[in-house]
Structures are given as structure tokens and as C-alpha cells.
Amino acid sequence: MGYEFKCKDIGMDCGFDVKADSIEELIPVIQAHAKNAHGINEITPELFNKVKSAIKEY
Ligand SMILES: [Zn+2]
């Protein structure tokens, strides 16, 4: 059991996906990816909500 995030689920043309045991572990990985791969330096509250709703349990 854990949580999974796929970049394409927020509408990005991107094959990145990440799995972790908790959302708390997932967020920093997503932040680092957003910065490195998409040049997003700051996660706005709007984007954060989008990311959170795209996170799925598996
Ligand atoms: Zn991406």
C-alpha cells in the first residue's frame, strides 16, 4: 500500500511517476521534479490542490 502520483494526471505531457508510502514523502519528490523537469520553482496553492487530487492510493 502506498501513494502514487503521475505527472500526466495533472495534464503534463510527461512520463514521470512516483510512488511512496505516504503523501508527506511524495510532495518533496514532486516539488523537485516540478523544478527540475518543468521549471516550476514555486508550487502555488492551486497547483498543490491539483497535485493532491491527482495522488492515488494503490
Ligand atoms: Zn513531469
Query: What's residue 18's pLDDT?
Result: 98
Contact 5, 17 (CB under 8 A): yes
Query: What's residue 56's pLDDT?
Result: 97
Average pLDDT of span 11-21: 97
For the chain, what is the mean pLDDT?
96
Average pLDDT of span 11-37: 97
Q: What is the spatial distance between Cα 6 and Cα 9, in angstroms, rounded to a whole number?
A: 5
| Distance in Å, CA 15 to ligand 1 centroid | 7
Assign 6 a pLDDT band (cuts: 50, 70, 90).
very high
User: Which residues have C-beta under 5 Å from ligand 1, the single-atom ion?
Assistant: 7, 12, 14, 16, 37
Query: What's residue 48's pLDDT?
Result: 95
| Distance in Å, CA 1 to ligand 1 centroid | 23
Q: How many CA atoms lie within 13 A of 19 on its CB side?
A: 4
| Distance in Å, CA 38 to ligand 1 centroid | 6
Q: What is the spatial distance between Cα 38 and Cα 22, in angstroms, rounded to a whole number?
A: 23
Query: What's residue 37's pLDDT?
Result: 98
